[in-house]
Every structure is written in C-alpha cells, then in structure tokens.
Structure 1
Amino acid sequence: MRIELKKIEINERLSDETCCFSADLYINGRNVGIAYNRGNGCPTDYYATTPEGKEQILKAEDYCKTLPPIKSGEHTYEMDLEFYIDNLLNSHVKQQSQKKMQKRFKDHIVIGNDRDVGYRYVNIQTPIEATLKSESGRAYIKTVLETLKEQLESGDQVLNDNIPTNIFKAAGFGENQYLDNDLQLATKARKQSKSIGKKM
C-alpha cells in the first residue's frame, strides 16, 4: 500500500510543541482525505473527504498495524496510520531543510553537529566555488576556517560539501570536524567537464 502526503503546508508561526501542518492524504495514488496537526502538542489527525476515501483510510489503518514497530533510542513505538503520517511529514521537513542547507553552501560556511537538527552559518563575500579558483581565495577560505575552528563546540563539524579536504587540513581541522569531500568534488568536476565538452 502506498501512503503519501501531497500539497504539504507548514505554518512555522503556529508550530509550538508539534509541527503545525495540513496536507492532502493520498492512498495508492488517490486523494482520500486531509491530514493535519494544529501545532499545540495534540496528535496528528486525519479524515476522509469522500465515502470511498473513508474506506481507503480504514484499509490504511489496518495496513499500518501490520508494519514493524519503530525503535528510537530506548523506546519502541507501535506503527499506526497517525505515526506513519508523522514519519512522512518528518521526512518532508528534513528534505526541505537539506535543500535550504545545500543552497547555503554556495556562499556560506555551514556548521552543525547534526544535518537534520539545525546548523549555523557564516557568510562568505563571494561564492565559494569562485573563491577557491585563486590562490588568494583559497588562503581566504583557510583563514575563515581557522577562525571558525576556535568556535566549534563539541561534536560540531563543517557541513559544506564544496570545500576540498586539503584546505581543512591546512586550517588545522581534525578528521571528525569536516566532511571528506574530495571524491564528490572530483565527480562534480568530471561532470562539468563532460557537459562543457558536449556544448563545444
């Protein structure tokens, strides 16, 4: 059974103890109802918008009860449709957060200890990719990293995937304080050179 949320709308202002959202609930490709949470700590709720939707939701409730429980830390949670919907929403929120963070990599150095929880960032005067093309630009990034290294808290690391490993090492970073991006950068450069070759 395929259960999906579409047209997800999140209201961050009203999100207090839980995420305030509303979304269309789809089962096996059909819009069957609405899922929502008021953001005040109450459980996520859902309802059918048609008689056929009600029937599909009942089947989805039965289906979710057959799924294995989810372990989180020391706790184990039995699966039901409400929990399934919450997991879909959490995945959506994480994806959106990752996209925002990825955009920040262009002209920010991003720091955090969990890519899914939160991060802080420092603005770079010009896009990092362009800055790294010159010796002075690489020296500038190294200087910024040296300053940031002194501000790292326990478990923090630079999350950027667009800064070469040798610059981190030159700035005195330990292996657990940055991501090893060399393979990814080399792959990206290869793709760009192939793309340029095709255009020519």
Structure 2
Amino acid sequence: MKIDVKNIELDEESSKAENQIYLGDLHINEAYVGACLIEVGITTLYHARDEPAAALITQAEEYFRQQPLTFYPYENSGKDGELLQPSLRLEIALKVHEHFLKEAAEQRRVFDEFIDKNQKQAIIIGSPGKKGTLITLTHPIADILNFPVLRKDLAELIRHSILPKMEEGQQVLNTNIPVSILQQAGLKESQYFFKGEEQQPPNKKNNGINGPSG
C-alpha cells in the first residue's frame, strides 16, 4: 500500500499560530483520493473526494490495521521511541514529516554553499539558514589569521564596523573566524553562528519538525 502526500502548503490562517496547519493532496497507490490536513504534532485529518476514493481509503485503513505494532523512534533521540499501531493517519503524518526533513536539508545545503562561497574574503551577518549581508574585506580571512597583528585588526573591525550594524537576532555567520576573535570583538555567544576555534566547513545539523502525530 503506497501512501503519498503532495502539494503540501501552509494554511495561511494558521501561519502565526502556535500549532501550524498544513494542507496536502492525499494519494493512495498513485491515485488522488482527496485532501488532508496536518496539524503538526497534534492531529491528522483527511476526506475522500468521491465514492471510489472512499473505498480506497477504507482499503488503506484496513491494510494498516492488519499490520503488527511498529517501533517509531523519536527524532534525534537514539534508541527512544514508541511502539504504535500503524494507521493511515500515522502514515500521512510520517510522509509530511519526511517532506519537511527534505525541505530543511535543501535549505541548509543552499545556506552552507552561500556561506562557504562568500566567507573567504567577507564577513557575513544575518540569520542562520538565510542568506546574509556581506561586508567585503581587503584581504582573505585565511591570510589575516596567519598574522597576530591582523587578527587583532580583524577583531577591532568587527567591534567598530560590524557589531553596530547588527540588528536584534542577527549573527556573524562565518565559520572561518575563530570564536576567540569574535569574543575579543565584543560579540556575545548568541551573536555568532560558529562556535569553534579552527576553520571548518559549516556544521550540518538536521533541522526537522517534531515527531509524527497519529
């Protein structure tokens, strides 16, 4: 039994609510059977578009009722999880969850590429996961870090020319500036994205949504 949810979109009326609602098109065995509504972590609803679709939904519900209890791990929790009875609602929630994981991974890939491409000779300020503002330097940062005097100059530049321009919630997004220099420049921990000392590639964390809801 193949379940898929396509054309997933945020319900605009819930966009600012604590629990956002998403709408999608439910497909069973490649056939469109009707719309579904997913309130992440709360509930999943669906309805048939016509009688043949209703019959297919009933068939899918019965199929999942006959499946054995299945262990569903919590996201990023190692061995923790729940033993649940598979259901059509749970399968829909899982498909939507997979959609957001893929979407988040793609957004992170684009963000990481932007940072990696532009940080070599610029300081980037903005919000994590989003493209930021570039302040171009006269020398590559890798060269600056080779000289103690220039490292001090970089800290002073950030203190006097970058920090005053940063708005609430913004960070220095570079991953190639040691945290010691950022702290020397007067940045708080919440004001810089990278927490390491050596030049490294961006940290690829999984930005997913909460676990599925049945």
**1:136 has 2:140 as partner:** yes
The TM-score, its normalising length taken from structure 1, stands at: 0.57
> How is 1:177-188 mapped onto 2 (pairs within 5 angstroms)?
178=203
| 2:23 aligned counterpart, secondary structure | strand
Q: Residues 124, 74 of structure 1: CA spacing in aligned structure 2 closer, same or farther, 3 A cutoff?
A: same
Tell me if the contact between 2:8 and 2:24 (Cα under 8 Å) persists in the aligned partners: yes
In structure 2, how many angstroms separate the alpha carbons of the residues matched to 1:75 and 1:5?
Answer: 23
**1:125 has 2:127 as partner:** no
In structure 1, how many angstroms separate the alpha carbons of the residues matched to 2:49 and 2:25?
Answer: 10
* Alignment-derived partner of residue 212 in structure 2: none
CA RMSD between the two structures = 4.1
1:2-32: CA deviation from partner (whole Å, max 9, x where unpaired): 1101111123761545441111110111101
Tell me if the contact between 2:27 and 2:33 (Cα under 8 Å) persists in the aligned partners: yes
In structure 2, how many angstroms separate the alpha carbons of the residues matched to 1:43 and 1:95?
Answer: 21
**Letter paired with 1:76:** L
Larger gyration radius, structure 1 or structure 2: 2
* Alignment-derived partner of residue 70 in structure 1: 72
1:113-162: CA deviation from partner (whole Å, max 9, x where unpaired): xxxxxx935847389xxx9xxx8253469975303886769xxx96xxxx
**1:82 has 2:57 as partner:** no
In structure 1, how many angstroms separate the alpha carbons of the residues matched to 2:198 and 2:40?
Answer: 48
In structure 1, how many angstroms separate the alpha carbons of the residues matched to 2:41 and 2:63?
Answer: 26
| 2:90 aligned counterpart, secondary structure | helix
* Alignment-derived partner of residue 7 in structure 1: 7
In structure 2, how many angstroms separate the alpha carbons of the residues matched to 1:9 and 1:44?
Answer: 14
Tell me if the contact between 1:24 and 1:31 (Cα under 8 Å) persists in the aligned partners: yes
Tell me if the contact between 2:10 and 2:23 (Cα under 8 Å) persists in the aligned partners: yes
The TM-score, its normalising length taken from structure 2, stands at: 0.54
Q: Residues 78, 42 of structure 1: CA spacing in aligned structure 2 closer, same or farther, 3 A cutoff?
A: same
* Alignment-derived partner of residue 48 in structure 1: 48
* Alignment-derived partner of residue 91 in structure 1: 98
| 1:32 aligned counterpart, secondary structure | strand
Q: Residues 63, 17 of structure 1: CA spacing in aligned structure 2 closer, same or farther, 3 A cutoff?
A: farther
**Letter paired with 1:125:** L
* Alignment-derived partner of residue 178 in structure 2: 146
Larger RCO (CA under 8 A, 6+ residues apart): 2
Structure 1 vs Structure 2: percent identity of aligned residues?
A: 17
In structure 2, how many angstroms separate the alpha carbons of the residues matched to 1:152 and 1:12?
Answer: 34
